[in-house]
């Protein structure tokens, strides 16, 4: 990949630590494209500041920009078709379901290592501390935002999913209060509109929670809390199993803090539903 060819000739001007990082990126570029600066630093065994200094030496504003470059080369726009063709060619007949289950199971198991209980509690604290939660995403991420707000509403929390549209986002932010929660969901890509919306929300005093994929580059300085989910290695056929499981865990963590208040809200929700259904 060209980013490696850019890094390698400069190795003479790099420190031993920086050369170690270059070697790690060259050996596993996909991992380098997927991990956050903290996760990659831990993986390589260096301080995160070393990654930042390396990025600066290579002409990038910071590590997120370097990772975005690596990501763009690892996941080129024309490669999904090639990856799908290769995988279909290697997939044994009659094992489509078992192969998918195996990959998703592995990704679910990895979820426990990617997100700590402390991270989950910090995210739940944001939701519990908000009078109102706004969630936003595009495509599949928008569906996940819908799932999150629906489940929060059932336990008595005021939550609303909004379209990824500048007008709608501005309208909802304007009617909310400082300290409320803005949840950005980006599990396939990071739209520029969502990046700007997070920055505006953070500057306006909102608590910003980002739920994203390990393969999606993002500016780590914007969200207050980030939950990064590992998805199935079957990139060309990713499902929403893992991010949906994360949202379920997040809602449970938030519900636990509410205690009896959440139980009463769920009871009231059930009673109203039956009354409206007429059964």
Q: 74-91, pLDDT tens digit by residue?
A: 655 445 555 555 555 666
Per-residue model confidence (pLDDT) at position 92: 64
Per-residue model confidence (pLDDT) at position 207: 95
Q: Are strands 181-186 and 159-162 parallel, antiparallel or unpaired?
A: unpaired
Whether the Cβ atoms of residue 116 and residue 242 lie closer than 8 Å to each other: no
Q: How does DSSP classify residue 276?
A: H
Q: In Å, how far are 8, 72, 188, 230 from 87, measured between CA atoms?
A: 31, 21, 20, 20
253 vs 149: CA distance, rounded Å: 14
123 vs 271: CA distance, rounded Å: 29
Q: Is 61 helix (H, G, I), strand (E, B) or coil?
A: coil
Per-residue model confidence (pLDDT) at position 176: 84
Q: How does DSSP classify residue 55?
A: H
145 vs 2: CA distance, rounded Å: 36
Pairwise pLDDT comparison (33 vs 270), residue with the higher score: 270
Domains assigned to the chain: 15-74 (1.10.10.10), 111-277 (3.40.50.10490)
How many other C-beta atoms lie within 10 A of the C-beta of residue 256? 12
pLDDT tens string 89-110: 666 666 777 777 777 787 777 7
Whether the Cβ atoms of residue 21 and residue 44 lie closer than 8 Å to each other: yes
Per-residue model confidence (pLDDT) at position 160: 94
């Amino acid at each position: 990949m060209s980013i490696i060819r850019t890094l390698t000739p400069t190795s003479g001007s790099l420190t031993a630590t920086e050369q170690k990082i270059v070697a790690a990126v060259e050996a596993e570029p996909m991992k380098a494209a997927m991990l956050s600066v903290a996760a990659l630093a831990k993986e390589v065994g260096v301080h995160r500041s070393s990654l930042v200094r390396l990025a600066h030496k290579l002409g990038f504003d910071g590590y997120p920009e370097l990772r975005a470059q690596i990501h763009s080369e690892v996941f080129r726009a024309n490669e999904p078709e090639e990856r799908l063709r290769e995988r279909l060619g290697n997939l044994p007949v009659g094992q489509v379901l078992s192969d998918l289950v195996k990959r998703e199971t592995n990704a679910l198991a990895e979820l426990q290592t990617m997100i700590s209980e402390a991270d989950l509690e910090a995210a739940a604290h944001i939701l519990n501390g908000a009078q109102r939660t706004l969630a936003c995403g595009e495509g599949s991420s928008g569906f996940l935002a819908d799932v999150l707000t629906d489940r929060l509403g059932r336990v008595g929390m005021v939550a609303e999913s909004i379209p990824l549209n500048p007008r709608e986002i501005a309208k909802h932010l304007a009617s909310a209060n400082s300290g409320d929660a803005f949840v950005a969901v980006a599990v396939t890509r990071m739209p520029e509109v969502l990046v700007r919306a997070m920055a505006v929300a953070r500057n306006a005093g909102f608590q910003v929670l980002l739920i994203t994929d390990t393969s999606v580059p993002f500016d780590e300085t914007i969200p207050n809390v980030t939950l990064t989910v590992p998805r199935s290695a079957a990139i060309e056929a990713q499902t929403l199993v893992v991010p949906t499981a994360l949202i379920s865990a997040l809602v449970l963590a938030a519900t636990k803090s509410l205690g009896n208040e959440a139980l009463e809200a769920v009871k009231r929700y059930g009673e109203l539903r039956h009354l409206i259904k007429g059964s």
